[in-house]
Amino acid sequence: MGDLELWEQKLRDKGIRWTRQRRIIIEVLLASTRPLSAQDIFAKLEGDYPKLRLSTVYRNLNSFKDNKIVRALNLNGNEQKFELINGHHHHHLICIKCDDILPLDCPLKEFESKLKDDTGYTILDHRMKIYGLCPNCKNH
């Protein structure tokens, strides 16, 4: 079973009908190495799907977010970006000039465990964003 079929099953398991619009939005998110805004997704699709509306992309992304299919991120104070929730916990390195986003593997597992032991807290989640200049922006 391929990635697209797995996501189709995830939607069906949550009672969400698998439509052409949902399929193409999932395809764009699967192909991306970085979180995308609704505008980004719409721009990638509008040439091939002229009847698709930006409101349809927003409505589906909000449904996906409510059903824990995608995660909405506010990375640089700009519009929300979305990424599929695939079970791989990671963080983001964000360029403050061009808004490029690089996913980073989480380095905090040991720290989280120590924090739990030291404080008695049950750690539910953590999020980290690191800001800087990408190599391209640094050189210009």
Q: What is the pLDDT of residues 38-66, one digit of tens each?
A: 999 999 999 999 999 999 999 999 999 99
Looking at the structure, do residues 78 and 22 belong to the same domain, yes or no? yes
Domain with residue 7: its CATH number is 1.10.10.10
The answer to whether 95 is annotated as binding is yes
Residues spanned by the domain of 42: 3-84
Answer yes or no: is 106 a known binding residue.
Answer: no
Question: Helix, strand or coil for residue 27?
Answer: helix
Measure the CA–CA gap between 35 and 94, rounded to whole angstroms: 11
Asked if 11 and 66 sit in the same domain, the reply is yes
Q: Was 98 annotated as part of a binding site? A: yes
Report the chain's mean pLDDT, rounded to a whole number: 89
pLDDT digits (tens, 9 = 90+) for 33-45: 888 999 999 999 9
Indicate whether this model's pTM tops 0.95: no
- Count structural domains, the chain: 2
**DSSP bridge partners of 42:** none
